[in-house]
Structure 1
Amino acid sequence: MSVREIPLIGDVSEGVVRVGATVRRPMRSTSPSVHALLRHLESAGFDRAPRVLGTDERGRAILTYVEGVVPAHPLPAYAVSDEALITLARLLRRFHDAAASFRPPPGAVWEDGSAPEGPAELVGHCDVTPANVVFRKTTHELLPYALIDFDMARPTTRLFDVVTTLRHWAPLADPLDRDPVQRFLDAAARVRAFCDAYGLPPRDRLMLVETARMRFGRSYALMRDRARTLGGGWARMWDGGAGGRIRRAAAWLDANEDAIQRRLLGDEPLS
C-alpha cells in the first residue's frame, strides 16, 4: 500500500511533501551543496536539522521529517515568548558553530541571495523564518527545537544570518506589518536579548543596524527581480506586498536606530 503524500506549504518552496517519516523535495542545482552541509552537520553532532537519506524513484531528495510544530501566521503567542527568542538564539549559535568547520565541495552551487560584503565566515541558513523553525513541547511550553528548509543556505557571516533571523523574530519591522502578537513587542529589547543569548561580540553589535539596512536594500531588489523572472512563490510574496513591507521596515529601522544601538551597547537596561 502506498503512503499518502501530504503537501508541505512554505514561502517559496514548491513540490515539497511529507511521506510517512520522510520529506521529499524536488532536486535543484543547489541540492548537492545543501546535502553536503546537512551531512556535515550530522557528522559534527548537530542533531537539530533534517538528515539526508538519498533520493526516491522520482529523483526527489529524501530527508527525515522533524516531528514538532511549525508556527503559522498569524503567529501564536508561544512563538514570540521571551524564552522562545532566547532558545532560538542559542539554536542558531549551535548551528553556526557546527557549520563553521564545513568546507563546501569543489564547484558548490548555492542560492543567489542577498549577502554581506567581504569574505564569508561560514555557510548560514539565511532563512530562519517562523515557517522554518520546528517547535517542541518542553516541561512548560513549546520552544524552538530544529531548523528546517535549508534551500536558501549560502556562504555568509554570522552577523548577516543573525540579522536575517532578527528581521522576523524581533521583529525588525514596522508595527503595521507585524503579526498581531508582535505588534507591541519591544523590538530593541528583543534584539539585545537575542544577541546576548547568541553571544554576539561587540564588534558585530556595532555593525548590526548598518548590516540590517544593507540587507533591506538588497532583499528588496532581489525579491523584485525574482518575482519578475521566476514567478511561483516569489511572485506570490511580491504580489502580497513584500516590497512595501521591506520599504516600511527600512524606514522603521532608521527611526529606531538610536534605541536599538543603546540597548545593544548596554546603555539601557533590558527592563
Structure 2
Amino acid sequence: MEEQRLPGGRTVGAVRIGNAVHRPVQPWTSAVHAVLRHLEAVEFGGAPRALGMDGQRREVLTHLVGETVGEDLPWPAWVYSDTALVGVGRWARRLHDATESFVPPPGARWLAGQTWRPGLVIGHHDAAPWNAVWHEGELVGFFDWDTAGPSSREFDLAFMALAWVPLHARRLAERTGFTAFEDRCRRLHLLLDAYGYDGDRSAFGNVVAARARTNADVIGRMAAGGDPVYAALEPVAADLRQAAIEVEALPAPFWSPAGD
C-alpha cells in the first residue's frame, strides 16, 4: 500500500498505510504502548491503539478518523468553539480517571512527565489542537502520544488551558485565529467545569505558568541534544516562556468563577 504523509502533529515521519499509522520508534515508545494498551483494556475511546511494529521497526497505531488542523493558519473555527473546549475537559477527565490504575512496566522511560509514583495519573502532555481529531461536530481524541507520562491532574490540564482557552502567548494565539481575549476568563472556567476540577482555582495560574516553562525547558533540552524536530520548535519555546509571563500578569479575579 502507498504511504500517505500525515499533516498535523509536532513530529516528523508519521505516515498512514491503509487504516494504520506508522511512526519512527523512540526510546519511550514501549512505555507509551503500555499506556495505550491499558487504555484499550479499560475501553477508553479517545486514543489510538498500539498494534506493534512493522518490518521497518516503526511503531504501528490505529488511525483516528476525522479532521485535523493540518498545517495552515488560521485554524478551523471548531478549534475555539465552546463544544471543543467542553470536549477537551471531559476527555481529560476520562483519561486521568482511566489511568489512575495504571502501573508502568519496570524501567519505563518517558520523554516528559514525572517519575511515576502511586497517586499520579498519565497525562498526554501535548493535548493541543495540532494533535486533535474532530469528527461530526465532536472531539474524537488525540494522537501523538510521545509526550505521555506520569503527571498530576492539574499539570496536564494546565497545558490544555494554554492550548485551548487559550492562555498561550497572545502573539501565538492571534496567529492561530483567536481574537476573543476578553472571553478567556469564561473559557477557562468552562474548561475547568467540564473537567470537574475541584482544586484551588486561585492557584491554577501558578500551575499554568510552571507548565509553560516546563514545556519550554523540554524543547530546549531536546534541541540541545541534537534532535532536529525539537530544534525546529525553539520558537515555540520562546512563545511558551512569553505565555508564562503573560499568565502571571493576569489579575486575581481572572482565576475565580463568575460570582465568587
- SS state of the match for residue 97, structure 1? helix
- For 2:190, the equivalent position in structure 1 comes to 193
Output the CA distance in 2 between the equivalents of 1:110 and 1:120: 17
Say which is worse superposed, 144-153 or 182-191, in terms of deviation.
182-191
Once the two structures are superposed, the pairs formed by residues 17-96 of structure 1 within 5 Å of their partners are 17-72=15-70, 73-96=73-96
> Relative to 1, partners in 2 of residues 1:125 and 1:243: Cα closer, same or farther, differing over 3 Å?
closer
> Relative to 1, partners in 2 of residues 1:180 and 1:59: Cα closer, same or farther, differing over 3 Å?
closer
- For 1:163, the equivalent position in structure 2 comes to 158
- SS state of the match for residue 135, structure 1? strand
- Once the two structures are TM-superposed, the CA of residue 176 in structure 1 deviates from its matched residue by 2.3
Output the CA distance in 2 between the equivalents of 1:35 and 1:13: 17
Query: For residues 17-39 of structure 1, what are the alpha-carbon distances to aligned partners after superposition, in whole Å with 9 as ceiling and x for unaligned?
Result: 10010001111211111111101
Output the CA distance in 1 between the equivalents of 2:168 and 2:11: 23
- SS state of the match for residue 151, structure 1? coil
- For 1:229, the equivalent position in structure 2 comes to 225
- Once the two structures are TM-superposed, the CA of residue 51 in structure 1 deviates from its matched residue by 0.9
- Once the two structures are TM-superposed, the CA of residue 195 in structure 1 deviates from its matched residue by 0.3
Unaligned 5+ runs, structure 1: none
Q: Which amino acid aligns with 1:135?
A: W
CA contact (8 A) 1:114 1:218 kept: no
- Once the two structures are TM-superposed, the CA of residue 11 in structure 1 deviates from its matched residue by 4.6
Q: Which amino acid aligns with 2:187?
A: R
Output the CA distance in 2 between the equivalents of 1:182 and 1:164: 17
CA contact (8 A) 1:89 1:197 kept: yes
CA contact (8 A) 2:121 2:152 kept: yes
Output the CA distance in 1 between the equivalents of 2:103 and 2:91: 21
CA contact (8 A) 2:8 2:68 kept: no
- For 1:100, the equivalent position in structure 2 comes to 100
CA contact (8 A) 2:113 2:149 kept: no
Output the CA distance in 2 between the equivalents of 1:226 and 1:206: 32
Query: For residues 153-186 of structure 1, what are the alpha-carbon distances to aligned partners after superposition, in whole Å with 9 as ceiling and x for unaligned?
Result: 0111110010011111011123222145312242
- CA-based RMSD of the aligned residues comes to 2.1
Unaligned 5+ runs, structure 2: none
Query: For residues 212-232 of structure 1, what are the alpha-carbon distances to aligned partners after superposition, in whole Å with 9 as ceiling and x for unaligned?
Result: 122223233332232232331
> Relative to 1, partners in 2 of residues 1:136 and 1:11: Cα closer, same or farther, differing over 3 Å?
closer
- For 2:126, the equivalent position in structure 1 comes to 127
> Relative to 1, partners in 2 of residues 1:124 and 1:174: Cα closer, same or farther, differing over 3 Å?
closer
Query: For residues 27-84 of structure 1, what are the alpha-carbon distances to aligned partners after superposition, in whole Å with 9 as ceiling and x for unaligned?
Result: 1211111111101101101122111112111111111111101123421111111111
Query: For residues 196-243 of structure 1, what are the alpha-carbon distances to aligned partners after superposition, in whole Å with 9 as ceiling and x for unaligned?
Result: 01000133x2431111122223233332232232331211121xx223
CA contact (8 A) 1:11 1:233 kept: no
CA contact (8 A) 2:9 2:131 kept: no
User: TM-score, normalising length from structure 2?
Assistant: 0.90
CA contact (8 A) 1:114 1:222 kept: no
Q: Which amino acid aligns with 2:158?
A: V
How many residue pairs were aligned? 256
- For 1:149, the equivalent position in structure 2 comes to 144
Say which is worse superposed, 220-229 or 74-83, in terms of deviation.
220-229
- For 1:136, the equivalent position in structure 2 comes to 135
User: Percent identical across equivalent pairs?
Assistant: 32
The correspondence for 1:260, drawn from 250, 254, 259, is 254
- SS state of the match for residue 182, structure 1? coil
